[in-house]
């Protein structure tokens, strides 16, 4: 059976994730409705604006289905997606991680840097990126910048504060596909 990856396509940068996955030969489903979850094996929650995304998920009555799917299947949240998955009363609270929205600065403070990941160097794009301020003991830190975690995993949940889909390096997406 081939793996079908959903990319939450309610708001934010979902198209670049879809393009990255398609370049890897992966079947991609843009997830917009609750029944779309029945057609996928794993999910990417893209960057965007976390408050707007949460409001749209609630308005379209997708939040409960998303919570259920993410509690049982591999999920990758980037930037705003990491905020949605993190600890906090208004979020899904599926990963033992606390975040500071825009912790790496505003839009004008955006930057690209190299990170060590799985023994290799990868490019990481930070755009109004959240900072991971508290990482639970059961979290595996996969990449850091200045000793601060920026890519972490807890069980079936992978989150990054940066945008791997905005580079040509597919290492992080390949890692997610093999979780």
Tens digit of pLDDT for each residue in 110-139? 899 999 999 999 999 999 999 999 999 999
pTM for the whole structure: 0.94
Domain limits of the chain? 4-177
User: Do the annotations mark residue 40 as ligand-binding?
Assistant: no
Comparing C-alpha atoms, which of 20, 2, 3 is closest to residue 163? 20
pLDDT-derived band at 1 (thresholds 50, 70, 90) equals very low
Catalytic residue from among 79, 90, 98, 100: 79
Catalytic residue from among 140, 165, 168, 173: 165
User: Do the annotations mark residue 48 as ligand-binding?
Assistant: yes
Q: Is 173 a catalytic residue?
A: no
Return the sign of the alpha-carbon dihedral for residues 28, 34, 35, 37. Answer: positive
CA 14 to mean position of chain CA atoms: 10
Please state, in angstroms and rounded to a whole number, the distance separating the CA atoms of residues 43 and 59.
20
Please state, in angstroms and rounded to a whole number, the distance separating the CA atoms of residues 84 and 110.
21
A 10 A CB-CB count for 119 gives 5
pLDDT-derived band at 3 (thresholds 50, 70, 90) equals low
User: Do the annotations mark residue 83 as ligand-binding?
Assistant: no
* Domain 4-177 sits in CATH 3.40.50.300: no
Q: Is 17 a catalytic residue?
A: no
Q: Is 165 a catalytic residue?
A: yes
User: Do the annotations mark residue 128 as ligand-binding?
Assistant: yes
Please state, in angstroms and rounded to a whole number, the distance separating the CA atoms of residues 41 and 75.
9
Please state, in angstroms and rounded to a whole number, the distance separating the CA atoms of residues 36 and 28.
11
């Amino acid at each position: 059976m081939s793996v079908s990856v959903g990319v939450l396509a309610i708001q934010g940068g979902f198209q670049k994730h879809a393009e990255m996955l398609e370049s890897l030969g992966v079947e991609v489903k843009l997830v917009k409705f609750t029944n779309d979850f029945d057609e996928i094996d794993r999910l990417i929650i893209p960057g965007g604006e976390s408050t707007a995304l949460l409001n749209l998920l609630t308005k379209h009555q997708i939040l409960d289905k998303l919570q259920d799917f993410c509690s049982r299947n591999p999920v990758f949240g980037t930037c705003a997606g990491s905020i949605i998955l993190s600890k906090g009363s208004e979020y899904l609270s599926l990963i033992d991680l606390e975040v500071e929205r825009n912790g790496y600065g505003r839009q004008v403070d955006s930057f690209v840097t190299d990170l060590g990941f799985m023994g290799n160097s990868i490019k990481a794009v930070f755009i109004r990126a959240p900072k991971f301020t508290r990482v639970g003991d059961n979290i595996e830190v996969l990449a850091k910048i200045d000793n601060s975690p920026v890519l972490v995993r807890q069980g079936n949940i992978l989150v990054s504060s940066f945008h791997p889909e905005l580079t040509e390096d597919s290492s992080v997406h390949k890692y997610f596909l093999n979780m």
